[in-house]
Structure 1
């Protein structure tokens, strides 16, 4: 008997719940309130008793409670005042990330009267988030031969707030080589672009440090920033330059074979292969090519055979420095051979016959 009554009671409660839910679905919008997000727990939402014309004794006597369509109960009814209050702090961005309007629904059930009153509460946005970029630092690699006017898309900032509290503008700080352009997307979103305003020169400045700032339209406003590092890629726009236009050296004729006579040096302002210099003889006589050796990497000119003042007292060479591309330069090398006392006197006697 008791078990049957208990089963009947459960069935009755299930039926009652079904009836109340059906009534709740048709009662939406009877009361509408609006509150800003992030209000402390227990904050006032609306005077339900007054707005529904219910007497407080009737509310207490007939058993009134709040039901919600979500698992989390965001609102509570204050029994003594009939006020609807927040049951916990509400974060609009967490509840309604992609919705323009954030609406929360709950219902007031007066069990004694089998009556349901539907309530809709709009949670409005406050400027509680700052714009932020997915990457705090971004690197761009741009060739120094890139023509001014070229545009490079930049990452957009994200702000979970809505309306004017979301991202409204961008600002770029850095140097005169770059400016900022902002395009408007199909959905009204702003898309920042980096514009090359002035030609780059890697040999002058190899890196450019920029800061992109995004600002929202809240009061007070909030900003977020990302650093942009522009690496200027080298182009072969420089030729090797010798330290001297002409190298002059004097060597005695008895200098040992293998000795280094002079070292020519050329530098190239480019980097990598474009700045790697190799040396070759550009102009040299046949005999001089048998006497002198040029190290293609170091520019050292050394002896590979004996030199003889009596044979040839001076040599004029021309050395070429070439980089990894098509740029080259030349320098002259004048080698003077000085005499040493390496020969004995020779007496030549000629006889004359007198007839």
Structure 2
């Protein structure tokens, strides 16, 4: 015969065309540690994802700056721990960290802020944006503004800015609702609220905007 058939199998391999991307929440990346924490105390957990497969997608973690030798990062699991060197009470340590895959592609560097002491609550979002229909019932929550306590204390929520006293917030849950119905034709269309999260007797607090 003048021609033959032959079967050819092709395998498409992944190329290293993705870089690690950080996936920790919330941002910014904040942590606390006791000033007398022993060596090996867990401070923070880094996590990044790489869209490549196989070795191309395996991520390792590094600290590129900061910490003055008082913190170290586990390359494999991303855990940030104390080294045992003394920590100055209430001082903030800024740790610059990067994630890299096996072929050297690096993430953008990010900073983890560690305070050797207490710090105010952190909202899960720096700001909240929401649209609500004009037929939203009075008293029905339409948004929750949760915050986390680094000291594991109860958090109390309040409104620092509340236009026309149109909104109310649950002190226990951070749920925001209307105090009366709104009308698209007669009421303004944009509102700015400022929510405060407070904890403890020392009234440590932080604030977040709702637009």
| TM bucket normalised to smaller | 0.3 to 0.5
Q: Which structure dedicates a bigger proportion of its chain to helix?
A: 1
Higher relative contact order (CA 8 A, sep 6+): 2
TM-score in terms of structure 2 length? 0.47
